[in-house]
Structure 1
Amino acid sequence: MKNNKKHNYFKAVALICLVAFTSCKVTSQEPSNKDIVIAKNLKWSDKMALTLMKRHPEAYMIDDSKTPKWDYVHGLVLHSIEELYKKNPDARYPAYIKGYVDALVQEDGTIKSYEIEKYNIDMVVAGRLLFNIYNKTKEEKYLKAMQLLRKQLTEQPRTASGGFWHKKIYPNQMWLDGLYMGEPFYAEYTTVFEKGKELDDIAKQFELIQKHATDPKTGLLYHGWDESKAMPWANKETGTSPNFWSRALGWYVMALVDVLDYFPKDHPKQKELVGYLNNASASLAKYQDKSGLWYQVTDKGGKEGNYLEASGSAMFAYAYAKGANKGYLPANYKKLANKAFDGLTKKLIKVEADGGITLTEACAVAGLGGNPYRDGSYEYYVKERKKDNDPKATGPFILAALELNR
């Protein structure tokens, strides 16, 4: 009998310990991003960031990625969340960004999934996330990763006149997208580590694209320029691609407002870049729809198949607002930016049952050449698939919301 009592006593003690242990375990767990609550009264920037974090609990899952990869879309969205953190210091934001970087940057500074030998300029932009993390941690691996991306720019193949090729597989071609992919990282790196010695080279990239890709009639810039004029999509006289794509123009004006952060006012090229921003902005303003938005093919308005597109419109809203806030653009561009933002929120945003938001009518992807071949025709751009909450739209949406304090 005694033994039985003893046995039951120890069983009870063991059970109490087990319950105590497991309950301690449960309470010490970090709240998951899946448990995020998106309140109605939040600003649009927080609403979008928290929506993305809830839908993609790990940052590498952005754009529905199944495994961590170093990519420009993650660089864009996480940079926007980094900017958001400056306005709203919610600890979840830098943790989310660092989670992405740490899933990819190895102890020796190499970056998982990144292949320097492809000389793909798209892969440079995510390097912007490394500056802050290195500043805070002083861990060598982040510095080495930045140096690796800087090495790519040193070795990046160039056109005869000195412009970065878009990728090794696209010889002699500069695309507007490439200015955003390479130059803001390049400008920050040369400012922080090289006393700004390469700012002239950065200005040169804009000079070349401005000179060769601008249409004298509309003032808009074509999506791509082939210096060799060898590509079937290239105009045999000018080397330009056939159409104006709003997102490409969006990458261009975003590149200008971000790069100007690193050009001192007394730098000989600063005024020139401000001039390019004003020219492109004034040309784009002529094509802003009464809804505040812009069409997928910028200058073709209501032509059959064309549609009011989210990513280009968000990019223009951001560039206009930041340009006006910084004094690069006249103050009335802030009004145009607010009009664009109204168009996005009233026409293209859906509010979901959990309070999360979905930005619709975003072109998923568009390019030139490649396989299957993309000819840059009007039909090509309007038939490319669309994707809700595409990162090329959500990142600029957050940035525009911040600049407009909406």
Structure 2
Amino acid sequence: MYENIEKYIDKLMTSAPDMPLWNIESIKQGKKPAWNYIDGCMTTSLLEMYKTTGEKKYLDFVISFISYYVHDDGSILGYEPTKYSTDDVCESRILFDLYSFTGEEKYLKAIKLTYSQVEKHPRTKEGNFIHKAIYHDQIWLDGLFMMQPFYTRYQSTFGGKDYSDIIKQFKNVRALMYDEKAGLYYHGYDSSRTLFWADKTTGLSKNFWLRSIGWFLVGLADVYGYIEEDHVEDRAAIKAIFTEAINGILRYQDDETKMFYQVPNFPKREGNYIETSGSAMVSYALLKGARLGMLDKEFAAKGAEIFNGIVKNKMSAENGDLNLKDICLVAGLGPENNTRRDGSYEYYISEPIVENDAKGVGPFIMAYTEIKKLM
């Protein structure tokens, strides 16, 4: 079943750093090369392939790719800390591994540059990082994945292992954004209650979006893995939130494909579809959660079941060309001048559906590395 996966990864590694095959947003919109979370998803997964297989081609590719962006003085092409974008912190998580593997000081300098954003990043009144400067007063589930693994690893490596702020931010999200009845997390929260998409009483967005829940689950699993093992209470706090969220999303698993819908709680509603990226994130979270002891071992089989569903239903091999399909290109809330992004059901199913974007491919490869650990 898996014989084509590494050929598919090799295909994507023919990418040039200024216009990678997996960054469909950049290709479609003609964006200038810049540090971004989409490339971060892919390079993180390739480093995991290196750590899992020992095959140096993955590490060599990432080093070559990142050399285009990270300069000797630690500056990063297209990275502006004062944009206060949680998304832009995401890719910097790979710098810890690159520094460890190579010893090159430029990676350490780039880590310190990124941490300067963490130190100054604006917060909501509850104490959480805002999603971006243009998304003021807002917490998005996505942002927990984008920011907290880097922040946690920094604390474990350079920061004195103080995880209290990280734990508090996850607990705030649990208190503010979790729906007890549905067992799911809302995509966004506006602490100001002023944004057009936000409920004026709760501050919450209108719906549950699969990939945002996937980001949250992956963020929790990765943060747990970066917290030092002797910090038992911190790990227990993350584990409790993670376990509850996993059990919640599993209620919405599709019986036939074993995957999940774009808007998970409306599986039969017109226009809804089985979405690949969020399903891959749930698969990875289950597999890693079971391996790390956050979940009982039998949950690994559930993660593998979802992964196999993706391979069977969403990986095509036409004339020898491999593609991963049915990936939602992007979804968000606002800003104020973009009222189409209103968090409605109709909005989430209206966004483009693409192939081979790293928001799906990266988590798919991450899940594959966990599968390989079971082999």
TM-score range, shorter chain: over 0.9
In the TM superposition, what whole-angstrom CA distance separates every residue of 1:96-127 from its partner, at most 9, and x where no partner exists?
11122110112221111111111001000111
User: Aligned runs of 1:4-403 on 2, under 5 Å?
Assistant: 42=3, 44=5, 46-54=6-14, 56-58=15-17, 61=20, 62-64=22-24, 65=26, 68-197=33-162, 199-267=163-231, 268-290=233-255, 291-354=257-320, 356-370=321-335, 371-373=337-339, 374-403=341-370
Conservation of the 8 A alpha-carbon contact between 2:86 and 2:146: yes
Q: Quick one: distance in 1 between partners of 2:78 and 2:263?
A: 33
Alignment deviations for residues 134-164 of structure 1 (CA, whole Å, 9 cap, x no partner): 2233322211111011000100000112100
1:213-260 Cα shifts (integer Å, max 9, x gaps): 001211200001111111111111211111000000000000000000
3-state SS of 1:206 partner: helix
Larger Rg: 1 or 2?
1
Match for residue 35 of structure 1?
none
3-state SS of paired residue (2:96): helix
Q: Distance in 2 between matches of 1:42 and 1:348?
A: 15
**Structure 1 counterpart SS, 2:316:** strand
Tell me how far apart the structure 2 counterparts of residues 234 and 75 of structure 1 sit (CA, whole Å).
29
Q: How many residues in Structure 1 have an aligned counterpart in Structure 2?
A: 363
- Normalised by the length of structure 2, the TM-score is 0.93
Post-superposition Cα deviations, 1:356-390, rounded to whole Å, max 9, x if no partner, equal 42111110000001243210000000011011011
Superposition deviation, residue 85 in structure 1: 0.6
Cα distance change, pair 85–137 in 1 and its aligned pair in 2 (3 A): closer
| AA in 1 matched with 2:252 | Y
Q: Which residue type is aligned with residue 177 of structure 2? A: A
Secondary structure of the residue aligned to 1:350 is strand
Matching residue's letter, 1:183: Q
Give the CA deviation at 1:58: 4.2
Contact map agreement 2:40 2:94 (CA 8 A) in 1? yes
Aligned residue type for 1:394 = V
**For the residues of structure 2 that align with 1:337 and 1:369, how far apart are their CA atoms?**
33
DSSP-derived class of the 1:331 partner = coil
Task: Provide the residue aligned with 1:15 in structure 2.
Answer: none
Aligned partner of 2:299: which letter?
A: Y
Structure 1 residues 276, 224: CA separation in 2 closer, same or farther (over 3 Å shift)? same
Give identity over the alignment, percent.
Answer: 40
SS in 1 for 2:139: strand
In 2, the alpha carbon distance for the partners of 1:335 and 1:288 equals 14
Q: Give the letter for the 2:11 counterpart.
A: T
**Residues 223, 260 of structure 1: CA spacing in aligned structure 2 closer, same or farther, 3 A cutoff?**
same
3-state DSSP class of the match of 1:174? strand
Matched letter for residue 303 of structure 1: R
Gaps spanning 5+ residues in structure 1: where?
A: 1-39
Task: State the alpha-carbon separation in 2 of the partners of residues 276 and 357 from structure 1.
Answer: 36
Q: Which runs of 4+ in 1 moved over 6 A?
A: none
Residue 341 (structure 1) shift: 1.2
Moved more, 298-307 or 339-348: 339-348
3-state secondary structure, aligned to 1:104 = coil
What is the letter of the counterpart of residue 182 of structure 1? M
Does the residue aligned with 1:269 lie in a helix, a strand or coil?
Answer: helix
Distance 2:56 2:304 in 1: 29
Decide whether aligned partners of structure 1 residues 41 and 310 sit closer, same or farther in structure 2, where only a CA change above 3 A counts: closer
Which residue does the alignment assign to 1:19?
none
Contact persistence 2:277–2:328 (CA under 8 A): yes
- Alpha-carbon distance in 1 for matches of 2:138, 2:39: 24
